[in-house]
Amino acid sequence: MRNASSVGADVPLDDQQVLQSVGIYRYHHPLENAAAYKERLTVIEAAVAALVREGRAIERSNMFTFDNSLAKGRKMSDDLSKLMLRAYNAEADSAVRSLRAGNVETAKRRLEKSREAIARLGAMMEMRIALDYHDLRVEEVELTSDWLMRKQEEREFERDERARLREEKRVQQELDAERERLDKERALIEQTIERLRSNGEVDADLEARLSQIDAAIEQNDFRAANIRAGYVYVISNRGAFGPDVVKIGLTRRLEPSDRVNELGGASVPFRFDVHTIYFSEDAVTLETELHRHFATRALNQANPRKEFFFATPAEVREVLMQKVGALLEFREEAEATEYLQSVGAWPTRVVPMS
């Protein structure tokens, strides 16, 4: 039977460590952006340099004697303290240089072990790295880790923003081209109707077509003016992500399937299956509500801009119906045609998606 102390030793008590173990990063020193972290690091580096210049980075006894000489003892202590401080700083600099976003705890442990080793080796001279100096270097490690993570987040945000702007530009081009096409067709039909009327003739089909074009122009103008209108889609890719993972996204394309086809391009091995494509005048809010509902089941808990969730199409359908009422079309089963055609030819060591 395990005693209480052994059980307690297996339980991680640091919430930060628990969160990072599952991929969620928590900032040690929350600042606004990467530039703010860089400025703070400059302040820390100046404080580190000041403690070294003032001789307060490492502590040691002034009463150590060597060869029965206090002066020789102090010189030896001074020389050894410089050597020890150089070793500690080398470890600190190495920890900072080798930092990657998320491995800050390892770097801090390295620094703490270095401090402990110096205290152990310098015990005879009561030599140790000053706590204030150590705290500054630990803060430097934490800030550097935060800076790396913030830079990564800002790069991802900028990449997503560029993609969003490209998509918006493409949508606007599609809407403009569609309006131009409709205007040309309307002008041609109007001319034809006028000629017929001048000859005392009426073409009911052309009149009906003109009404359809007017309605299409009105809808096109509405889409162009209302950036919140669009299509919310629910798609899956069994071969790439497994049977119970869906992507819930939004597109303002005139032909929403074009966006789905793009997503199933070279970045994934199989095309996506479409479960539903639903038009909403406030697609932005609808997509946000769906994302919020399944947030705890997101595949990527570190980046909320990703749109994949551990959920079955049936579960999404139920939530979507609660939001919008009846759905004209929703396919719960994924065909996964390409995957099923391919899985039989996979090497035997590969485990198929169940």
User: Tens digit of pLDDT for each residue in 69-101?
Assistant: 778 877 877 788 888 888 988 998 888 888 876
Q: Nearest Cα to 122, choosing from 69, 77, 74, 71?
A: 77
- Which residue shows structure tokens 């152990």? 120
What is the model's pTM? 0.58
pLDDT at 146: 81
- What count of other Cβ atoms lies within 10 Å of the Cβ of residue 147? 22
Which tokens sit at 283? 């697609």
Quick one: average pLDDT of 224-244?
A: 91
Whether the per-residue pLDDT at 318 is higher than 90: the answer is: yes
Whether the per-residue pLDDT at 304 is higher than 80: the answer is: no
pLDDT at 152: 80
Phi, psi at residue 232, to the nearest 5°?
Answer: -95, 125
Quick one: average pLDDT of 318-345?
A: 90
Helix (H) or strand (E) holding 236: strand 230-236
Distance CA 248, CA 256 (A): 13
Asked if 103 contacts 21 with a C-beta cutoff of 8 angstroms, the reply is: no
- What count of other Cβ atoms lies within 10 Å of the Cβ of residue 115? 22
Asked if 248 contacts 234 with a C-beta cutoff of 8 angstroms, the reply is: yes
Mean pLDDT taken over the chain: 83
Distance CA 193, CA 293 (A): 53
Quick one: average pLDDT of 218-242?
A: 90
Q: What angle do CA 303, 305, 309 make, to 5 degrees?
A: 85
pLDDT at 27: 56
| 3-class DSSP assignment, residue 61 | coil
With a pLDDT cut of 90, the percent of the chain lying above it is 35
Question: Residue 12: CB partners within 8 Å, gap ≥ 6?
Answer: 18, 21
Range list of β-strands (E), 9-160:
58-59, 128-129
Partnered with residue 274 across adjacent β-strands are: 235
Question: Residue 315: CB partners within 8 Å, gap ≥ 6?
Answer: none
The mean-pLDDT minimum among 175-189, 288-302, 340-354 falls in: 340-354
Q: Read off the DSSP letter of residue 231.
A: E
More confident residue, 348 or 18: 348
Q: Read off the DSSP letter of residue 129.
A: E
Local confidence band at 64 (pLDDT 50, 70, 90 cut-offs): confident
Phi, psi at residue 234, to the nearest 5°?
Answer: -125, 115
**Which amino acid would we find at residue 257?**
S
pLDDT at 214: 93
Sheet (strand 308-310) strand order: 273-280, 230-236, 245-251, 308-310
More confident residue, 26 or 213: 213
Helix (H) or strand (E) holding 107: helix 104-121
Quick one: average pLDDT of 128-136?
A: 91
Q: Read off the DSSP letter of residue 181.
A: H
Distance CA 248, CA 255 (A): 17
- Which residue shows structure tokens 């410089």? 82
- Which residue shows structure tokens 């000629």? 195
Residue-by-residue DSSP string for 55-68 = T-SEE--S---BTT
Quick one: average pLDDT of 131-154?
A: 86
Asked if 95 contacts 111 with a C-beta cutoff of 8 angstroms, the reply is: yes
Distance CA 273, CA 250 (A): 15
pLDDT at 32: 54
Distance CA 86, CA 354 (A): 56
Local confidence band at 4 (pLDDT 50, 70, 90 cut-offs): very low
Distance CA 310, CA 245 (A): 5
